[in-house]
């Protein structure tokens, strides 16, 4: 009996010690896809250290903050073999004074040079974080250059330009549609953040809306409608607000991570961006700043309202272009790109959606009551969708927090090198553009996307049923120059 008891005890000890230890489930895991493999290398290092310093400031107020929160970063710096994964650790040294990395390196053996423009590698990172650092809530942040919903590649020229996260060593970028193609509901998060330019667009938010079976999604999104300044977000101020209680230097409430909601996290990022820019405001829309947090579950309502308005505008092209979009130098629509640059008209024609709707709602000369009512309904839907927003009123005259700050694709009626803008913008479609592109360039093997849910055609051929079909009816009525048919 004694031998049996001893053997049983040994078995239990061996069994227990050989079983893998399950990592503790924390309240939040923030996953940062920090792509500095480009001309932002030093900015990436500074922001990485801001995260360390910010976590230290949070720990001063809440010594248990690291038991509640994991911040995991895949950091790809300029050059080859320069990728690593880290668990951010608190560091008392201010990032502006010392950029020494103290965080825990996670990749042993080291991971090979990462392609931060490859959605499959992004998926691997998210799955790794969810396995090793499980949490009740997740945030995924894209850190890099951004270019909005578009691919700026024309029919000739640089074929690898996509929408976010340029990786110069790998010569690759991420498309909006590519992310949806590869990521699934298993990679879904509570909050998506874009510390990148031009990403606060309805089309992007709609792509990752919750409730679509099997698809990658998020509940909230934080992004900038115009270009962002090089310093990006103020991470040490954002993380300091995780210190549990009290207020920060600007009097903003701080949160206990154990009760932090996705809406609160999205909102505080916007507020800290605003606070960081005091004294740096600009009257130039090209350099001015804005940031928006919005509820992705409400993007369907915004799209429905925009589509309803679009059905009334098929025969109002000249009125919309002349009196809404292009109405003089001081009263023109709120644009988040260089209005006077032909290249940006081809590549970045993003306008403020609320401002667009409001101008139509007030125009009693060009639009009837039904059209103006639809515009008002769109304004209401946008207000419900935007959680909070901030914009530099010196450049964006009339910018109203909670109303403005959500952009949409609104191309012009002009030409670039003798070709209508819209013919360069064939990527604005729900179709897989690879086959269509190869019909023009059979020798090329590049993969092109499109696959934008927002641009799905309606069910009645030849009838405008949504915004995408309205643009097709205005600019390519014979469907000869862009993929898909309306």
Catalytic (active-site) positions: 197
CA 228 to chain CA mean position, Å: 12
* β-bridge pairing 415-416 and 419-420: antiparallel
Rounded CA separation 244/231 (Å): 26
- Name the nearest CA neighbour of 406 among 427, 389, 429, 425: 389
- Name the nearest CA neighbour of 47 among 323, 252, 238, 184: 238
Q: Which residues contact 312 (CB under 8 A, 6 or more apart)?
A: 367, 368, 370, 371, 374
- Name the nearest CA neighbour of 433 among 215, 153, 206: 153
Q: Which residues contact 148 (CB under 8 A, 6 or more apart)?
A: 163, 197, 198, 199, 201, 204, 348, 350, 407, 409
Rounded CA separation 351/200 (Å): 11
Tokens linked to 286 = 């090209």
Angle between helices 353-362 and 369-385 (to 10 degrees): 150
Residue whose tokens read 């849910």: 453
* β-bridge pairing 419-420 and 220-223: unpaired
Report the SS3 class of residue 229.
Answer: coil
The Cα-based distances of 462 to 371, 454, 473 in angstroms read 20, 18, 8
Asked if residues 472 and 484 have their Cβ atoms less than 8 Å apart, the reply is yes
Tokens linked to 2 = 């004694």
Tokens linked to 289 = 């700043």
The Cα-based distances of 205 to 199, 293, 297, 333, 379 in angstroms read 9, 10, 9, 22, 17
Q: Any bridge partners for residue 77, and if so which?
A: 36
DSSP letter, residue 111: P
- Name the nearest CA neighbour of 429 among 167, 149, 219: 149
């Amino acid at each position: 009996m004694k031998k049996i008891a001893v053997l049983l005890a040994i078995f239990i000890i061996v069994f227990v010690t050989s079983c893998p230890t399950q990592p503790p489930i924390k309240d939040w895991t923030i996953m940062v896809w920090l792509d500095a493999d480009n001309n932002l290398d030093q900015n990436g290092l500074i922001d990485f250290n801001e995260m360390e310093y910010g976590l230290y400031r949070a720990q001063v107020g809440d010594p248990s903050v690291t038991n509640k929160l994991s911040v995991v970063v895949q950091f790809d710096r300029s050059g080859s073999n320069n990728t690593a994964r880290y668990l951010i650790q608190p560091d008392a040294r201010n990032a502006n004074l010392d950029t020494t990395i103290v965080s825990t390196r996670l990749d042993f053996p080291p991971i090979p040079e990462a392609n931060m423009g490859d959605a499959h590698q992004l998926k691997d990172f998210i799955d790794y974080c969810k396995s090793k650092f499980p949490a009740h809530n997740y945030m995924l942040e894209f850190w890099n250059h951004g270019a909005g919903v578009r691919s700026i590649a024309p029919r000739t020229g640089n074929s690898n330009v996509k929408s976010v996260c340029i990786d110069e060593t790998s010569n690759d970028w991420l498309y909006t549609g590519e992310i949806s193609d590869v990521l699934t509901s298993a990679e879904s998060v509570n909050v998506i953040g874009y510390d990148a330019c031009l990403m606060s667009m309805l089309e992007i938010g709609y792509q990752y809306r919750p409730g679509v079976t099997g698809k990658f999604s998020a509940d909230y999104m934080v992004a900038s409608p115009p270009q962002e300044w090089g310093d990006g977000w103020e991470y040490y101020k954002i993380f300091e607000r995780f210190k549990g209680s009290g207020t920060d230097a600007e009097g903003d409430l701080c949160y206990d991570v154990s009760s932090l909601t996705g809406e609160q996290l999205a909102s505080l990022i916007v507020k800290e961006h605003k606070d960081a820019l005091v004294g740096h405001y600009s009257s130039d829309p090209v350099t001015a700043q804005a940031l928006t947090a919005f509820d992705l579950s409400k993007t369907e309502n915004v799209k429905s309202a925009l589509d309803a308005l679009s059905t009334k505008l098929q025969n109002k092209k000249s009125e919309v272009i002349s009196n809404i979009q292009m109405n003089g130098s001081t009263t023109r629509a709120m644009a988040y790109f260089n209005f006077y640059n032909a290249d940006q008209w081809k590549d970045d024609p993003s306008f403020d959606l609320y401002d667009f709707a409001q101008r139509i709602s007030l125009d009693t000369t060009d639009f009837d009551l039904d059209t103006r009512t639809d515009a008002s309904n769109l304004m209401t839907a946008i207000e419900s969708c935007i959680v909070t927003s901030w914009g530099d009123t010196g450049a964006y005259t009339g910018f109203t927090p909670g109303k403005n700050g959500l952009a949409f694709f609104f191309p012009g009626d002009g030409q670039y090198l003798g070709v209508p803008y819209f013919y360069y913008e064939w990527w604005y479609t729900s179709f897989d553009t690879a086959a269509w592109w190869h019909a023009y360039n059979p020798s090329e093997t590049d993969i092109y996307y499109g696959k934008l849910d927002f641009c799905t055609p309606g069910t009645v051929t030849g009838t405008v049923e949504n915004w995408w079909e309205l643009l097709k009816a205005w600019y390519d009525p014979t469907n000869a120059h862009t993929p898909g048919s309306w």
